[in-house]
Structure 1
Amino acid sequence: MCRLINHQILFKLIFGFKLIVCLFFVGFNCAAQNYQSGVIAKDGWSKNSVNAVIFRKNSIVSYKKLQFSAFYDDNQFVVLAKRSAKDKTWICQKTAYKGDATDAHKSISIAVDGSGYLHISWGQHNNQLNYAKSIAPGSLQLSEKSAMLNDKEGKVSYPEFYKLANGDLMFFYRDGGSGNGNLMINRYSIKSKTWVRVQDGLINGEGKRNAYWQVATDQLGGLHISWVWRESPDVASNHDLAYAKSIDGGLTWIKSNGEKYVLPITESNAEYALKIPQNSELINQTSMFADDHGYAFIAGYWRNKPAELPQYHIVYMDKLGWKVNSLNFRKTDFTLKGGGTKKIPISRPQIITWRKQNKYGVAVVFRDEERGSKVSVATNQDILSNKWSINDLTSYSVGDWEPSYDTELWKNKQILNLFVQNVTQVDGEGKAEIKPTEVKVLKWVVPN
């Protein structure tokens, strides 16, 4: 059993004191104090960033009164964990499965379907599909590994689960390699308990390039996908930001103006939310959020001009079309080049939004060396403005961590639970010889 460190009493004392200080000093921003953290386990694999990459969908996920998580332990075994919503104690189950944690691409993604079954895929980077589900609703015990369809499951990368409003699951993955791969989509029915192929190569690189995507589901039942193109295994060849939407579970796809796509989507027929040239330090696989009105918000980083620094940006949709909000608070430069998992001084950003009094508030969670590599958040109560408040949510470094969070908990209750672990990434898929570190969940309350 894994036990959370109980900070409740200490937190109340500290928070009470800081609240008095905040009230005393007019203008002091207290947003960074609205958080709590607790430990899931102490033996998380930390020799690279595989437990803490941004494309985990999901690292933490809630279903009714239960919350689940997954990670690699120091011996590279897949470990599952769960707790009840009212409990601070996590129950951990070491599985029989390993996932070659030395490759930071081979992260673990989990989801819970509408019947309460846990689904998991792990250890994927251009190899045979690793997939299993729990033997019963709410259980941490997994079945034997199985195929989904036994078709185009031999070169799987970036497995991601997304839950639909009716409880079915969508499974997105890349078939093929970097610079030459196609996007596949499967759907799991909770009624038949089977998988079907929805799209076979939705986004086609035509043998010349591949798409690095991010997906969001909205509460209206829509699927939103945005992506950057990559021309080769070199990250510097990333370019452009494209978009598509489906309102029928991925069967047909439209542009933001309602125009229907002729599939597959290629470089020539894609809608571009923003054109960004190669060699712009444009990062791939960042984050996306879709609200209950069906509007999409995309967060990433790139360099606007050769003489400017790489900055975080939000590309978002409203009734008038696509807009860009540039955060412009970073002060240090860097360059993205080469293949493999890179050691980068900033993380890819995670974005969430909320509506209040007809305004869109937004939070961007990130990690930046110039802030001590802590868990940090930039908040803005009106996305139309550029009034950003930057705060650190931890006092300690999280190394080369990237943010992932419980998407279902945020969607249903607007509570943000982040998966946090101090990890080290050696450039170009290296492995650091360091001890295991604590796997944590950090709860942050969005300031009003």
Structure 2
Amino acid sequence: MKRTSHVNSGTSYGKNIPVTVLALWCAMISFSQEVVRETMVGKGWAGNSVNAVIFRKNSVVSYKNMQFTGYYDEGGVLTLAMRKLKDTVWTVRKTVYKGKVSDAHNTISMAIDGDGYLHVSWDHHNTPLRYARSLRPLDLELGAEQPMTGAEEAKVTYPEFYNLPGGDLLFFYRSGSSGRGNMVVNRYDTKHKVWKPLHRNLIDGEEERSAYWQACVDDEGVIHLSWVWRETWDVASNHDLCYARSYDGGKSWEKSTGEKYGLPIREATAEYAWRVPENSGLINQTSMTSDSRGNPYIATYWNSGAVTQYQVVYLQNGTWKKQATGFRKVPFRLGGGGTKKIPLSRPQLLLAEKKGDTDLYLIFRDEERGNKVSLAGIKAGSRETWSVSDLSSSSVGQWEPSYDTQLWRDRGELHLFVQDVSQEDGEGLTEKAATDIRVLEISGF
């Protein structure tokens, strides 16, 4: 991964934050220079967390020297923005489309294909597919809504785009309802500008459960997929952490041992990276990544003793291992349905590799720390205490982290989508006025 250092002008995110981040990171890894700045995009809906949930794949996307983001404005209008990467001013355009912002599931996901066309999917919770593509490369004007393949598009939830080497895209989503859903996978052919179905049911809940997944594509194009099973609508019924990978763009799948999966994958045939019983506070839809050797790393949280702690499960020399955090102090119970008001966010996981060592970074938000944007880090396999610091000086409410994955992969620069949002339990709404949509930039890895 290319590492660069940049000195950028712009608004700093908290008066003393660059110094704080520098002290933290230099303690963990020898970086030459760290700079933190933020750019303001516009005002976004903040009555719940629909703009700021972790399963936005993606909230910020880059193509060459251009960057795009999307959000619902105060009226629920799907709004897109773009800029050159070094610019501090965004070009903002409201589309002709709206979303049901009262449901925090109905988030916006984006990607840019190898020809520079923007793909956007939005407004889903067991509802028909909503998808459009830009009329021109590197442009904000979307064309008409259209189907992808025409199959399994009546009850869509959790749309996610992933970029493949060569410019094609993958699109994952759940078909069906919570506890009774299946995983659908489509592939976009950039050359012919068409979507093709790969799997109408990659992970089969057998009408008894559903899989809640996270995925990543590594530098070699290997797709890594992990998931938890949920037995009912109740999040407390989440259990176990499973794994699969694909070397051929998502057509065939195998376990970490190389054993081929018979498809669809079911509870009895899945590889279990880590066993976690029901009622353990195991959260769903978190994040994963991989190192340069193709080893997957999965970040999540579940109960460790009486307190819920972030956990990292990873593969090393063919064996699944776990690195616990242990820095949280306050217990809470995870249970119930709908979008939850939870005292901590689901984590994003990043890796930095240097001289054979792998450094783990968790980006998160925790009520214990005043609901700020926070960062924790440690060397993989170390028994030392995690280093933890805050990247923001004020609360971001019920925000969860999402970032520009392509920019991190290409340049080692972290650009976070940040908004101060509220969330009442079980799809509740607040009267919080629209708040600033910001992109927090951390460069110098």
Q: Which deviations, in whole Å up to 9, do the C-alpha atoms of 1:2-43 show, x marking residues without a partner? A: xxxxx9377599679959x969xx9899999742112111x2
SS at match of 1:89: coil
Q: Which residue in the other structure is 1:350 paired with?
A: 348
- The aligned length equals 435
Cα contact 1:361–1:383 (8 A) shared by 2: no
Farther off after superposition, 30-39 or 348-357 = 30-39
In structure 1, C-alpha distance between the alignment counterparts of 2:174 and 2:87, rounded to whole Å: 37
Q: Which deviations, in whole Å up to 9, do the C-alpha atoms of 1:126-164 show, x marking residues without a partner? A: 000000000010010000000001111000000000000
Paired letter, 1:121: S
Q: Which deviations, in whole Å up to 9, do the C-alpha atoms of 1:169-215 show, x marking residues without a partner? A: 00000000000000000000011100000111100000000000001
Q: Which deviations, in whole Å up to 9, do the C-alpha atoms of 1:347-402 show, x marking residues without a partner? A: 00000102101010111000000100000000114444444110000001000000
Q: Which residue in the other structure is 2:415 paired with?
A: 417
1:118 aligns with 2:118: yes
**Correspondences of 1:48-447 after superposition (within 5 Å):** 48-305=48-305, 308-445=306-443
Deviation at 1:295, TM superposition (A): 1.0
Cα contact 1:22–1:30 (8 A) shared by 2: no
In structure 2, C-alpha distance between the alignment counterparts of 1:401 and 1:438, rounded to whole Å: 12
Q: 1:380 to 1:17 in 2, by over 3 A?
A: closer
How big is the alpha-carbon RMSD for the aligned residues of Structure 1 and Structure 2? 2.4
Q: Which deviations, in whole Å up to 9, do the C-alpha atoms of 1:260-308 show, x marking residues without a partner? A: 0111100000000000000001000011112332111100000134xx2
Cα contact 1:132–1:142 (8 A) shared by 2: yes
SS at match of 1:125: coil
In structure 1, C-alpha distance between the alignment counterparts of 2:331 and 2:386, rounded to whole Å: 21
Q: 1:383 to 1:406 in 2, by over 3 A?
A: farther
Q: 1:66 to 1:9 in 2, by over 3 A?
A: closer
Q: Which deviations, in whole Å up to 9, do the C-alpha atoms of 1:407-432 show, x marking residues without a partner? A: 00001111000000000001010110
Farther off after superposition, 385-394 or 100-109 = 385-394
Cα contact 2:217–2:223 (8 A) shared by 1: yes
Paired letter, 1:159: P
SS at match of 1:51: coil
In structure 1, C-alpha distance between the alignment counterparts of 2:90 and 2:191, rounded to whole Å: 30
Cα contact 1:162–1:170 (8 A) shared by 2: yes
Cα contact 1:33–1:393 (8 A) shared by 2: no
Q: 1:166 to 1:434 in 2, by over 3 A?
A: same
Deviation at 1:88, TM superposition (A): 1.1
Q: 1:176 to 1:30 in 2, by over 3 A?
A: same
Instruction: Give structure 2 stretches of 5+ with no counterpart.
Output: 1-7
Paired letter, 1:260: K
Q: Which residue in the other structure is 2:45 paired with?
A: 45
Q: Which deviations, in whole Å up to 9, do the C-alpha atoms of 1:69-109 show, x marking residues without a partner? A: 00000000000000001211100110000010110000000
SS at match of 1:310: strand
Structure scoring higher RCO (CA < 8 A, sep ≥ 6) equals: 2
In structure 1, C-alpha distance between the alignment counterparts of 2:58 and 2:75, rounded to whole Å: 21
In structure 1, C-alpha distance between the alignment counterparts of 2:250 and 2:71, rounded to whole Å: 29
In structure 2, C-alpha distance between the alignment counterparts of 1:30 and 1:198, rounded to whole Å: 43
Cα contact 2:60–2:70 (8 A) shared by 1: yes
TM-score (norm 2): 0.94
SS at match of 1:409: helix
In structure 2, C-alpha distance between the alignment counterparts of 1:371 and 1:184, rounded to whole Å: 38
Q: Which residue in the other structure is 1:4 paired with?
A: none
SS at match of 1:236: helix
Q: Which residue in the other structure is 1:3 paired with?
A: none
Q: 1:386 to 1:207 in 2, by over 3 A?
A: farther
Paired letter, 2:78: V
SS at match of 2:205: coil
In structure 1, C-alpha distance between the alignment counterparts of 2:30 and 2:281, rounded to whole Å: 33
SS at match of 1:400: coil
TM-score (norm 1): 0.93
Deviation at 1:337, TM superposition (A): 1.2
Q: Which residue in the other structure is 1:36 paired with?
A: 37
Q: 1:283 to 1:10 in 2, by over 3 A?
A: closer
Instruction: Give structure 1 stretches of 5+ with no counterpart.
Output: 1-6
Paired letter, 1:344: I
Deviation at 1:320, TM superposition (A): 3.8
**Percent of aligned positions that are identical:** 49
SS at match of 1:284: coil
Paired letter, 1:329: F
SS at match of 2:106: coil
Deviation at 1:321, TM superposition (A): 1.1
Q: Which deviations, in whole Å up to 9, do the C-alpha atoms of 1:34-70 show, x marking residues without a partner? A: 42112111x2000000000000000001000100000
